[in-house]
Structure 1
Amino acid sequence: MASEEESAVKEPLDLIRLSLDERIYVKLRSDRELRGKLHAYDQHLNMILGDVEEIVTTVEIDDETYEEIVRTTRRTMPFLFVRGDGVILVSRH
């Protein structure tokens, strides 16, 4: 069992550390979302995720009816390197 000091949150990145080897949700720029297992990260929020599902949402306007058309595309990848400058939010899944 982890000691109280090991599991204490003293800095924002400690929350990420507590999610190592757990499934997380990552929201990225350009309406991209990721769900996967966090294997590694650094202080820039560069991350290596495993068993990843990527969800990309696009919104288009129909030229005739001017209605919004929302499309969602999903794909899975065994491993993915995520560059930290595109990360908006990280949460346990």
Structure 2
Amino acid sequence: MTELATYNKPGAAADSIEEPMDLVLLSLKEKVFVKCRFGRELRGKLVAYDEHLNLMLSDVEEKITTSDIDPLTQQETIKVQKKNHSLIFLRGDLVIAISPTPQTA
């Protein structure tokens, strides 16, 4: 069993990116944007993660986008659902992309 990362990488500079997971490490305790499979998007504070990209996020805003096509008219209907969560655990196999949220001036 692996532990979730909540520490700084030993021997690395505080702001260096030497490998892809360093970007995630530098985003620890910061707001991130996570694009997931099945039309889900999450924005929240990255609390912890592991090498499988399992994530724990707090203060999460979730957006779920679904679409349906009417078989008779072939017209597409897009539905957006929004939810808020205080804490969420996200399995790494659902993650497509993770990005730091841009800082506003």
Normalising by structure 1, we get a TM-score of: 0.91
In structure 2, the residue matched to 1:31 is 39
Equivalent residue in structure 2 for 1:67, among 69, 72, 75: 75
SS at match of 2:38: coil
In structure 2, what is the Cα distance between the partners aligned to 1:59 and 1:90?
A: 23
- Structure 2 residue matching 1:76: 3-state secondary structure: strand
Q: CA deviation at 1:63?
A: 3.4
Aligned residues: 90
* Deviation (angstroms), 1:92: 1.0
The alpha carbon displacement at 1:62 in A equals 2.0
Partner of 2:23: 15
User: Which residue of structure 1 lines up, in the alignment, with residue 4 of structure 2?
Assistant: none
Q: Which amino acid aligns with 2:30?
A: E
| Post-superposition offset of 1:65 | 2.0
Identity of aligned residues (%): 47
- Where structure 1 has 5 or more consecutive residues not aligned to the other structure, the ranges are none
Q: Which has the bigger relative contact order, CA under 8 A and spacing at least 6? A: 1
Alignment partner of 1:30: what SS? Answer: helix
Q: How many Å apart are 1:7 and its aligned residue? A: 1.3
Q: TM-score, normalised by structure 2?
A: 0.81
Structure 2 residue aligned with 1:56, among 47, 61, 64? 64
Task: Please provide the CA RMSD for this pair.
Answer: 1.2
**Which structure 1 residue ranges, 4+ long, deviate > 3 Å from structure 2?**
none
Greater strand share, structure number = 1
